[in-house]
Amino acid sequence: MTEPPPLPPLNPSTASPTRPTALTVIAIIGIVFGLMGVICSPFGALPYMMEMPGPPNPVVEMVKESTWMFAYMMMSLVVGFIFGVILLVGSIGALQLKPWARPVLIGYAIASLVTTVISTVVTLIMFLPLLQNSGDPAVAGAGVGGMIGAGCGLCLGFAVQGAMLYILSRPDVKRAFGKE
């Protein structure tokens, strides 16, 4: 014999809220990016901490020689790791519709927008002139790549964080988290 389907709850307020599809998508993207931040940030420090196989990288050598560039690079990697953890935890919480997940993701998105602007400004004003004035054609060429990367990073950062803020502020998403 087959069992009858379960009856719906008598009190609709006790039914589990439905998770909007847009929230599911943004949470899954957040999990992927969060994992990338947690996994890749420590590996990003390797070229600055140990000798890597192959020919020397003139840009890495320039960063190692400059105290402020090295400090900025290490700080960026630490902040990237912390942001990755926050995004990962907030995104997993969002999939489970935990009430704390929405403010965590909103805070992450705002902080990420601010750090995206700061990173772009530092790249364009501080790093690029040093790279272009290095006298090494390979390093100067990296400056052009840095300018393209800064522009793409700014656009991508604004698009992803803007989408996250938009989705988290929609009424159906607020309702799913128990906010009206």
pLDDT, one tens digit per residue, over 18-62 is 889 999 999 999 999 999 999 999 998 888 888 878 787 777 887
Within a domain: 157: yes
Distance CA 8, CA 31 (A): 32
Distance CA 72, CA 74 (A): 6
Distance CA 118, CA 162 (A): 17
Within a domain: 134: yes
Distance CA 45, CA 51 (A): 11
Please state the domain count of the chain.
1
Distance CA 180, CA 169 (A): 11
Residue with tokens 């389907």: 5
Within a domain: 6: no
pLDDT in tens, 88-105: 999 999 999 999 999 999
Within a domain: 172: yes
Which residue from 118, 115, 113, 87 is spatially nearest to 101, judged by alpha carbons?
87
Within a domain: 102: yes
Q: Residue 153 belongs to what domain range?
A: 20-47+59-176
Distance CA 55, CA 53 (A): 7
Within a domain: 9: no
pLDDT at residue 139 tops 70: no
Kindly report the pTM of this predicted structure: 0.80
Within a domain: 53: no
Average pLDDT over all residues of the chain: 85
Within a domain: 54: no
Distance CA 72, CA 98 (A): 35
